[in-house]
Every structure is written in structure tokens, then in C-alpha cells.
Homo-oligomer: A and B are copies of this chain.
Amino acid sequence: MAFLEVNYYSRVLGMNRVMNVLLPEESDHNPNWTNDSLKDLPVLYLLHGMSGNHFDWQRKSDIERLLRQTKLAVIMPAADLAWYTNTDYGMNYFDAISQELPRKVASLFPQISTKRKKHFVAGMSMGGYGAFKLAFSSSYFSYAASLSGTLISSLNYPGFLDMEKQAYWKGIFGDLDKFSGSKNDIFELAKRQSNTGIELPKLYAWVGQQDFFYGANEKAIPRLRKMGYDVSYETNPGDHEWYYWSKYIENILQWLPINYQAEKRLS
């Protein structure tokens, strides 16, 4: 695949941003991938977690190698520590990722499909929260997947707020007591979406059984199913580490409607 580091300007955030992009290309392994066959490409937006950036998935997982025989574009944006949220301090990361970025992608890479049925989003940890948030609050994504996702319904989830300073959390979400039921509560967003009658995005979630978000996922899945979402849910022994995300991202690739070509593994 072609691997691109893209420095672009975000008018929503008012600053230069970097994203990494994987694009299918003609190569010795894919000699039939001529220009004409590389149109209307399906695309996966792949989101990072806390402390990460646009480069995490490339540096810590096998995403590029896994996809080398599958026609799928991958967009890996950077969203800082902002929880894919229009922050209380006026930096609108949610708008930047959910609205502006797809337009930017359509401008820079017109070979990528703009159809909902070919738009997928996934992420790990904070990025799992982000993936569901994007899928629930727009009609832009038809599949959304979470790995070890922060699928919490209240900021009082055990240990959660202890990860950072109070000022940080208030900066992201504003009044912390008003989180539940707000536009940053993914269950509220899911409820609103399920009430609209539009075709709901298909969901996938994986979490490790030793992960501190295991309990959150165990509760979230039945709750989302009750709202009408089709959720594929898997869990294995594992904690909150890149080893698992690198391993289980392949489950997502197999779940997506992309005719994933898995590599042969003899040992």
C-alpha cells in the first residue's frame, strides 16, 4: 500500500494538523489494481487513544501489513487528548473529525468513496469511544468498532477521573455532573439516533477481561442491543495494551464488508 503523512490545515481547529493515510496501489502483489479499479474505495477511519496521535496505529500495530491485499483506504487522524469532543475551552475536535475531516479527505483523495455504506470507523480506548460517538451522531458511518473502548455512561466510572487532573476533565467536557445525557454521552447519542428511524450502524466491540473497561463493555453491549443496535461482541483474556489492539484489529477487518484477504500463516 502507499503510506502517506499528510500535513493539512484545519479551519475548524485553526491549526495545521497531521494525519497518516494508507491507500491501495498497484504493486507486484496487486498487479491488477489499475487506476480504474481504485475508485469509490471503502475507507476506515482509525482513531487513537489517550497519549496517542496519528502515528500510533502504524508504529504499534500491523495494520498496513494486514491490509496489503485488501482494497481499503485507512485514515488515521490526530485528535490530541480531546476525546473527539467540542471542548469546553472552545477547540471543536468533534466537528473537526466528524465533519471537516471527511470533506478534507474527499478533497485530497477523490478516489475514496463518500457513500455511507463504504465508511467505517474504529478505534482503541478513547478512540473506541470516539468511533461510537462518530457513528451515533452522524449518518456518515455504516460500521463502527471499538477495541477496549471507553464505553462508559458516567464519568464516575471507577478510576476514570483519576487518570487526569480535574481541570483537564472540565476543559474537555465542561460541567462533569452534566455529562450523562449530554452530547458527549454515547448512550444518549445512541438513543437519539435509534429514535430517528435511520438505518443504524453495525457495531463491533472487543475488550480484554483484565481491562479496567471490561465492566463498562459488559454493560454497554446489552444496553446498545436493547436500543436496536446489531453488536458483534468478543472478549478474551487481555489488558489495556497495544499487543491486543494489534491482534484484534484483524477481527474488525474480518467483520467489515471489505472482502478482507488474510495473510497465510504456516507457523
A residues lining the B interface (CB < 8 Å): 2-9, 11, 13-16, 18, 23, 25-28, 31, 35, 38-39, 50-53, 55-56, 58-62, 64-65, 80-81, 87-91, 103-104, 106-111, 164-168, 170-172, 208-210, 236-239, 241-244, 246-247, 263-267
Cα distance A246–B4 in the bound complex, in angstroms: 22
Nearest residue (CB) in B for A36 is B107
Count of this chain's copies in the oligomeric assembly: 4
Measured between beta carbons, the chain B residues less than 8 angstroms from A243 are 65, 263-265
Q: Is the CB of A62 within 8 A of B246?
A: yes
Measured between beta carbons, the chain B residues less than 8 angstroms from A26 are 9, 11, 104, 107
Cα distance A211–B249 in the bound complex, in angstroms: 28
Measured between beta carbons, the chain B residues less than 8 angstroms from A6 are 2-4
Measured between beta carbons, the chain B residues less than 8 angstroms from A246 are 62, 65
What 19 new A-B contacts, CB under 8 Å, besides A81-B91, A108-B111?
A2-B6, A4-B7, A9-B25, A14-B81, A14-B164, A15-B80, A16-B56, A18-B18, A23-B108, A26-B104, A65-B242, A88-B89, A88-B171, A90-B165, A208-B266, A238-B266, A239-B264, A241-B263, A244-B267
Measured between beta carbons, the chain B residues less than 8 angstroms from A209 are 266
Nearest residue (CB) in B for A13 is B81
Measured between beta carbons, the chain B residues less than 8 angstroms from A27 are 9, 11
Cα distance A237–B267 in the bound complex, in angstroms: 5
Q: Is the CB of B9 within 8 A of A236?
A: no
Measured between beta carbons, the chain B residues less than 8 angstroms from A23 are 108
Cα distance A252–B89 in the bound complex, in angstroms: 35
10 pairs, A vs B, C-beta closer than 8 Å = A4-B7, A14-B28, A15-B50, A16-B55, A25-B107, A65-B242, A65-B246, A88-B89, A110-B110, A243-B265
Q: How far is the CB of A118 from chain B (nearest CB, A)?
A: 16
Measured between beta carbons, the chain B residues less than 8 angstroms from A208 are 266-267
Q: How far is the CB of A46 from chain B (nearest CB, A)?
A: 15
Measured between beta carbons, the chain B residues less than 8 angstroms from A110 are 39, 110-111
Measured between beta carbons, the chain B residues less than 8 angstroms from A103 are 35
Nearest residue (CB) in B for A31 is B11
Nearest residue (CB) in B for A11 is B28
Cα distance A3–B239 in the bound complex, in angstroms: 25
